[in-house]
Amino acid sequence: MKIAFFTETFLPKVDGIVTRLTKTLEHLSKAGDEVIVFCPEGCPDEYMGAKMIGVPAMPLPLYPELKLGLPGPAVSEALENLKPDLIHVVNPAVLGLGGIWLAKSNNIPLVASYHTHLPKYLEHYGMGMLEPLLWELLKAAHNQAILNLCTSTAMVKELSDKGIQNTALWQRGVDTETFNPELRSDEMRQKLLGKHSDTGELLIYVGRLSAEKQIERIKPVLEALPNTRLALVGDGPYRQQLEKIFENTATTFVGYLSGKELAGAYASGDAFLFPSSTETLGLVLLEAMAAGCPVVGANKGGIPDIINDGQNGCLYDPDGANGGATSLINATKKLLGNEIERQSMRNAARIEAEKWGWSSATTQLRDFYRAILEKQSNKIAA
C-alpha cells in the first residue's frame, strides 16, 4: 500500500504520539508499504524507510512545543508523485486540514486518528469556555474521514457521544524489549534520588512538565508519606512553576532521559504516579508496566483500559475530595503498603504489557486500511 500521513507531531519532538507514529512507520515499512509523512520542519529526511516532508510551522502560543504546519505547493507536488492509496491525518489541525482537503479534492480515502484530548486541555489554560466550539471544529474535521481511530475505549465512546462518526479502537502498543524489569539498577536509582537519601520508596513520573498533566497533585502524597521520594523525568513549560511548588520536598528534577536510561528509570522506581485526567491512553503507563513498575493513574479517560485496579496497579478518583488528593494518597498507600502485594502487581504489570506489541497494533491498522481500500474498490467496480 501507499500511505501518506499528515501530522503536526513528529521528531524531534518526544511524546507518546511520536512513539506510536515511529513504531507504526517501522512496521509499515517492514510490511513493504510505501509511506510519506508530512510534518513540521526540523524532522529527519527519512525514517525507517518512510520519506519525511517538513513544512514551515509556527508554535501554538499556549502550547509552544506543538507546531502548526502550513501546507504549501511542495505538499501537493509530493502527494502527486506518490499517488497514495490512502491518507491518514493524525490529530487534524492546520496541516491535518490540508491533508483532509487534499484527500477530498483528489478522491483519496481518508482515515483520521485522535490522540490528544485538546478540549480538556483548555480548562488548564483558563479557556474552558471554548470547549464546545473546539468540539464543533473537531467534529467537522473528523467527520470528513471514512474511519476515526481512537486509542482507548473511553475515547471511542466520548467522540461518538460528541457526534464524531465511524469511530474504532486502534489498539495500544509498547516496546517490551526496550522496557523491562532487568534494567533496574542502584546507579540509576541514585540518579533519580539526586541529593535525597534512599531511605523510603521512590515515586517516579515520566512525561511533559505541563499544566494539563496535573503533576502538582503529587505534592500532598509526599506530605502524607514522608518517607517517599519523587523523581520527575522530563521537561516542559510548567517546570519553573513546579520547582516552586515542590520546593523543600524530596523531589529531583531529572530532565529528559531516552533509550536505556529512560528504561532504567522506569525499572528503578517503586511506583509510577501519573495524576493526569486528560489522557486518551497514557503510553508512559504501559512503558512503566513493561519495566515492572506498578502504576497509580486516574480513573478517567483511557487509563482504566490499562490499569486493573488492585491487580496490576491502582486507580484514583481525580474528581474526589481535595481535588483528588485524598484518593491519590490512598491509592499510593495501597500500592506501597505491602511488599508481597507490590511484587505481585509488578509481575502482573509486566504480563499485561507483554500482551501489547507494536507489530500486532500495526497489523490491526493495516487491516483497517485494507478493508477501506477493498470497499472503495468494490464501489468503483459497481
Taking the C-alpha atoms of residue 31 and residue 301, their distance in angstroms, rounded to an integer, is: 32
The pair phi, psi for residue 80, each rounded to 5°, is -65, -40
- Is 181-353 the same fold as 2-173+357-381? yes
In the chain (382 residues long), the average pLDDT of successive 10-residue segments reads 95 89 96 96 94 86 67 86 96 89 95 83 68 88 97 92 96 93 97 93 95 94 96 95 97 96 97 91 92 95 92 95 92 92 93 92 97 86 62
Q: Rounded to two decimals, what is the model's pTM?
A: 0.86
Alpha carbon 372 to chain centroid distance?
Answer: 26
∠308-311-316 over CA atoms, to 5°? 55
- Could you tell me the three cell numbers for 138? 473537531
**Strand partners for 86:** 3
Q: Is 255 left (phi over 0), alpha (psi -120 to 50) or beta?
A: left
Residue 295 has what pLDDT?
96
Among residues 284, 274, 265, 296, the alpha carbon closest in space to that of 194 is found at 265
Whether the Cβ atoms of residue 23 and residue 36 lie closer than 8 Å to each other? no
Fold of 2-173+357-381: Rossmann fold (3.40.50)
Show me where the domains of the chain are located.
2-173+357-381, 181-353
- Could you tell me the three cell numbers for 96? 491535518
Residue 298 has what pLDDT?
96
Residue 65 has what pLDDT?
64
CATH among 3.10.20.90, 3.40.50.880, 3.40.50.2000, 3.90.45.10 for 181-353: 3.40.50.2000
